[in-house]
Structure 1
């Protein structure tokens, strides 16, 4: 399956035709003083987008994000800095509320200028873009006739903990889902999306209510893609490792906190379903290396074959994501795949534990404090 996806998944082209329609980029940011200025510089350097508008929303940051953003904008008339001083409304996550504010502003500006709905792009502050990334993404959205294109960025990993966990994001769907086939239909259960880089047909986004449809979701990227498919729209995925990269989390502490805030929602939030996945993962990714190490004869050979298949799948997924052959650190991380699976399962269990204790937080805000946990 991973080999199939590595061969068939479309990639964003490094060169593309200029985009004539309006393209509005929305960047929600909270406590991103270090990450945001380089992204603004990347956005100002974009080529091939004739009508580019950049909206940045500072979500009540306490680290000088707004000041750093204003310096990076440096008077560029294409850029607008918005500031929020209050937290999200009840029932909303901070990111969804920020995205709604940005989208509302984009719609008002489009109406004022008469530029039309066009293309609406949401970017996380930790994304880095090559100069032609936005033109390539908008062009691919229109070429594929989708309401949403999710360009999958290269996930950078620098510490050991990051190299153990981050490659699992791409591997999880690349090893289980024939993406090109899934993207031809509108089945919500087979959607793949990455909230770090989302490219919408603005009219379709507005037709489903935008981020209002996923106000309280901790996985708003997947859920808004599902909402589009349930409404009859198509969504699509494209590999973008040559044009977009990100380091989602910096170090083991931030990584653990980041995954614990949302992993409880995997498998529909069901603990029995998650345990079933854990059993299957243990059988598939722990048993083979144990057999290869402790077994004899045919059992050892089968164990080695299974372990080699798992490592090869990891390497193929990493190559799909980065757009280049694996390097030494990729080989080391892939060889540790059984440990990666164990780390993931541990984070999943801790996420459920923190949810039951109402202890889910992110960037100083309590997430989903509602007490009706047993009904989920």
Structure 2
């Protein structure tokens, strides 16, 4: 029986080696959003348009809203007039009061800041998650100007921007040439943020999920107009207003739970330019603060992210168990069969190598890497729970709101 397990150990080691290789191929030289040079050293930051609206949809974000707004308002002048809109979706935890107080206490000059209520959803219409408040914010009156020169940046409340983020993102998205070199331009610029983990559950799951997302959604293919692959990171999505309105905005994906993927696909299939960059130097996100939030979040998204494909979903659970849990589970058996030591040891060393690689490429610490087996088990539980919730609607919630 033990001899049968040896090929399993080698399969895990081979799978991890292949994963590491593919991630390095895809992300080793991936395009990154870089901060612009200090003001005054070269051309103006950007001639990127006429107006920027930064939108933060919020629902019960008391733990995040103040730090999020302070980070946004600490940004350098992005090179064009701009405003910040906080659109509340019926919070009951004091989010609005905290946001208002944070704005009131700031003494330095601010852009226009509006804290508004999204109001009730239209009767008989299905609006999931942040689609409703995001749509309401986008529909606010705009200053006169060409929509192709106006920008909409949607940020999640758990995002923290570096002070250089706005200027750098607008510079990249605006395209054209200048003294700072060519930039590609985009109708939707989305950034892969740096993952911040604080609780044990996050350290167990988030680094593994980040690796799987990198494997599933090719950055190069997402940026290639000739490829069908399209990916957007919901925490940071910068739209050219003209393109956003052309695809129908969040209203066109109102019923979508994973709206970022739906918007990315709409941008690409409509012939607009999608640009997906690594943004770990300028944007950070902490998605979940405890196990309950992580469980609710990933059971909400996992099955949908794999297009409701049960074989792909269960296959992802099996793959995670093989790569991350099996090597540690077999390790005690090396006492009875020393032949297991080589594949198990190699697989565990490769798990560490993956975390070191993530540290070097994306700044993710290697904290708790030796608990990967527990992370694999937790993800293996998340997957069937996600299928069950999505199919039946039972317990399918986000922040307590039913998605069924």
**Cα pair 1:293 1:300 within 8 Å, conserved:** no
Correspondence list, 1:298-337, <5 A: 300-322=341-363, 327=365, 330-333=366-369, 335-337=370-372
Cα deviation for residue 163 of structure 1 reads 0.5
Q: Residue in 2 aligned with 1:374?
A: none
Q: Residue in 2 aligned with 1:48?
A: 77
Q: Residue in 2 aligned with 1:158?
A: 198
**Cα pair 2:219 2:277 within 8 Å, conserved:** no
The C-alpha deviation readout for 1:113-143, integer Å capped at 9, x for no partner, is 6786422110011111111111111112232
Q: Residue in 1 aligned with 2:128?
A: 93
Match status 1:26 vs 2:55 = yes
Taking structure 1 as the reference length, what is the TM-score of the superposition? 0.86
Alpha-carbon distance in structure 2 between the residues aligned to 1:88 and 1:3 = 47
**Cα pair 1:54 1:78 within 8 Å, conserved:** yes
Correspondence list, 1:56-135, <5 A: 56-74=86-104, 76-87=110-121, 90-105=125-140, 108-111=141-144, 117-135=149-167
Q: Residue in 1 aligned with 2:170?
A: 138
Match status 1:204 vs 2:243 = yes
Q: 1:276 aligns with which of 300, 310, 315?
A: 315
Alignment gaps of 5+ in structure 1:
370-376
Q: Residue in 1 aligned with 2:9?
A: none
Rg bigger for which structure?
A: 2
Alpha-carbon distance in structure 2 between the residues aligned to 1:137 and 1:159 = 30
The C-alpha deviation readout for 1:273-320, integer Å capped at 9, x for no partner, is 312333333344444455565355665423433343343223323433
Correspondence list, 1:252-267, <5 A: 252-267=291-306
Alpha-carbon distance in structure 1 between the residues aligned to 2:122 and 2:61 = 18
Q: Residue in 1 aligned with 2:288?
A: 249
Match status 1:225 vs 2:254 = no
Cα deviation for residue 238 of structure 1 reads 1.7
Cα deviation for residue 180 of structure 1 reads 2.6
Taking structure 2 as the reference length, what is the TM-score of the superposition? 0.80
Q: 2:373 aligns with which of 338, 341, 345?
A: 338
Cα deviation for residue 13 of structure 1 reads 1.1
Q: Residue in 2 aligned with 1:373?
A: none
Match status 1:172 vs 2:208 = no
For 2:25, what is the secondary structure of its paired residue?
helix
Cα deviation for residue 215 of structure 1 reads 0.9
Alpha-carbon distance in structure 2 between the residues aligned to 1:9 and 1:269 = 29
